[in-house]
Structure 1
Amino acid sequence: MLDERARTLLKALVERYIADGQPVGSRTLSKACGLELSPATIRNVMADLEDLGLIASPHTSAGRIPTPRGYRLFVDTMLTARGLEQGAPELAAAREQLHPDQPQRVIAQAAHLLSNLSSFVGVVTAPRKAGVFHHIEFLRLGERRVLVILVAPDGDVQNRVIFTARDYGQSELAEATNYLNHHYAGLSIEEVRARLKGEVEQLRGEIAALMQAAVQAGSQALEESDQVVVSGERNLLAVQDFGHDMGSLRKLFDLFERKTELMRLLDVSSRAEGVRIYIGGESRVVPFEELSVVSAPYEVDGRVVGTLGVIGPTRMAYDRMIQIVDITSRLVSNALSQK
């Protein structure tokens, strides 16, 4: 636990470093903290903060900078995110760029908006599909190869080839098709999976095997249909913390290419209410000490369907990023909920 003096000095150091990007020395900190403390006292407190792993000295003769642990303490206990007023320019810009009459473009517009407002990287997951199928069909392609056609209520069609343990004739596949459509159409993939567990013993073996394979194919189709829209990757080239470290930049751009990993991170965020902040490698999905993620879920008609956020350096203005992400999630929710 830090006493009030140490907390005040840590808060002043983090805010100064975020603003200037330069290690903070005791003289600068003395002016910034507003406390009448001697340089020796400030140096002693800074030494204590360094022993606690909250700040670090990048060079032997330089000032101190926050560590990811120091940022975390700052964000959790010292940050007060101010709400934006209704007439704030950020809010007006967001409203202008998100067009409720074009829902298919809202996701791309939101990623671009997040990137523009933050000057970092904007990421948005496309709304998750409900996983309900309207119609299913099995077609024989060849020996032990079957095409599964899944049709969603909105007309979206997913095709998957499955490999079966034995060869099926088209009449057997037609029987499985009719049975599945008659008993399970309109249910979600997960509901079908749950019912199959209880009914599989009552079904003939070949129909049960085909249905289980169809459920697996449907689950894979839904997972692969998830999309992540990324905007503003090149903004990181202008960030002082990354600009001269081509190794770090290369790893970051590799991350944006592997969008499935971003999906995992944002999926965790979608299970929490409000804004989430990951700082300096706290998430195994984004294991970079120089990187932070500020994210929030968004809804359609009161149901969480996706997540959006900002990815940037740990040295970011967290209060402003929280505002940007929170407002954008609300506006995206409103835009997608309008019929």
Structure 2
Amino acid sequence: MLIEELNQRSRTIFRQIVDTYILTGEPVGSRTLSQQLADPLSPASIRHVMADLEDSGLVYAPHKSAGRIPTQSGLRLFVDGMLEMGNLTKEERTNIRLQCQESGKNVEDMLTRATSLLSGLSHCASLVIAPKNDLPLKHIEFVYLNPTQALVVLVSENDDVENRVITIPLGLTPAALTQAGNYLNARLVGRTFAQAREQILKELDNQQAELDSLTQSLVAQGLAVWAGEQDKTFNGAHEHLIIRGQANLLEDMTAIQDLERVRRLFRDLESKKDLIKLLTNARAAEGVRIFIGSENNLFSLSDSSVIASPYMDGNNNILGVIGVIGPTRLDYARIIPLVDYTAKVIGKIL
């Protein structure tokens, strides 16, 4: 359904149902609505509108003779067409910025601080995904191991060190390893692997690289191994995941069924591979991405929502994703700008 298909009275009552449910977590009855609406309506008139909203699939009654709560489709309609976004206070913006800046160049510490702060401000669980391999490189070196193997040492700008053992052509000398390292350092340092790889491959294909055939083979082999690692990273094998604030999820329980929902959510959070896969879907978004309930398979049983945003460097290269997870009755108007601003602060610092 489109928001334009609702008349003004239906929109007003639907908005009030959603706002009250997000605030209390309880079904909203016609008597409660009659007391809340600015323009007085009788409970009977309100019940008639609520029945129409239920027929449209926007609300439902969880129990007989109970009030109504929004369906997941109703929440999606509300978020997409009726949500009035809140504004962060000057103090909140300053706090987020200073907390992230205090970590200096320690990226992991900054992301940990950001997720802890975000979980505190949102009263939900917060998570961040950070692929190490997306950071610009500081140094690359080939170390001779034996006639068929060499060690590739990669140092990123935040001083993270990663090693890869690669196969080298027979007859390759230690001097050729040094030459290959110098060649790549001149093109990779200060850039991410993805930024430099296309240029290097073009040089090799066009025979523009001043390297002998064996050294060119070594460079190509190193690029292939590193590209393979990046592909694995994208699929979740090497992603770095930080989760904070799970205890906040326990504070939101209003009934026994909420306890079971939170138990399911905790089990879902333990499935880090699937969680990373979900967050990876947010990479394609230009801004904040919102998953409500069964819109994502991972949290379909725990009735949870995820609000996530990618954070980017100065060249608009996506470095990772940060977000918040909680019940579907999240305070979307407040949390969406929180996630969006935090992602922008992280990207600006990086």
Question: Aligning the two structures, in what range does the TM-score lie when normalised by the shorter sequence?
Answer: 0.7 to 0.9
Q: Does 1:214 align with 2:222?
A: yes
Which piece of structure 1 moves more, 271-280 or 91-100? 91-100
Q: Which amino acid aligns with 2:155?
A: A
For 1:327-338, what aligned pairs fall within 5 Å after superposition? 327-334=341-348, 336=349
Distance 1:325 1:69 in 2: 23
CA contact (8 A) 2:152 2:164 kept: yes
Name the TM-score, length of structure 2 as normaliser: 0.77
* Residue aligned with 1:293, SS: strand
Distance 2:289 2:264 in 1: 23
Q: Which amino acid aligns with 1:130?
A: L
Structure 2 residue aligned with 1:275, among 288, 291, 308? 288
Distance 1:4 1:276 in 2: 28
Indicate the residue corresponding to 1:13 in structure 2. Answer: 17
For 1:145-294, what aligned pairs fall within 5 Å after superposition? 146-152=149-155, 154=157, 156-161=160-165, 169=170, 171-172=171-172, 174=174, 177=177, 180-181=180-181, 183-185=183-185, 186-187=187-188, 188-190=192-194, 191-192=196-197, 196=201, 199=204, 211=219, 213-222=221-230, 223=233, 226-240=239-253, 244=257, 247-288=260-301, 290-294=303-307
Structure 2 residue aligned with 1:53, among 57, 76, 89? 57
Residue-by-residue CA offset, 1:127-167 (whole Å, 9 max, x unaligned): 7533657434264569x7x45423235454322345x6xx9
Shift of 1:179: 6.2
* Residue aligned with 2:274, SS: helix
Indicate the residue corresponding to 1:98 in structure 2. Answer: 100
* Residue aligned with 1:218, SS: helix
Structure 2 residue aligned with 1:130, among 128, 131, 135? 135
CA contact (8 A) 2:88 2:338 kept: no
Distance 2:286 2:255 in 1: 31
Distance 1:297 1:147 in 2: 35
Distance 1:51 1:37 in 2: 20
Name the TM-score, length of structure 1 as normaliser: 0.79
Distance 1:159 1:42 in 2: 66
Distance 1:284 1:243 in 2: 23
Structure 2 residue aligned with 1:82, among 76, 83, 86? 86
Change (3 A) 1:289 1:11: farther
Shift of 1:329: 3.0
Which piece of structure 1 moves more, 284-293 or 132-141? 132-141
Shift of 1:116: 0.8
Q: Which amino acid aligns with 1:137?
A: F
Which piece of structure 1 moves more, 73-82 or 148-157? 148-157
Change (3 A) 1:100 1:216: same
Indicate the residue corresponding to 2:327 in structure 1. Answer: 313
For 1:25-64, what aligned pairs fall within 5 Å after superposition? 25-64=29-68
Shift of 1:69: 0.8
Distance 1:132 1:99 in 2: 21
Q: How many residues align?
A: 328
Structure 2 residue runs of 5 or longer lacking an equivalent are none
Which piece of structure 1 moves more, 291-300 or 56-65? 291-300
Structure 1 residue runs of 5 or longer lacking an equivalent are none
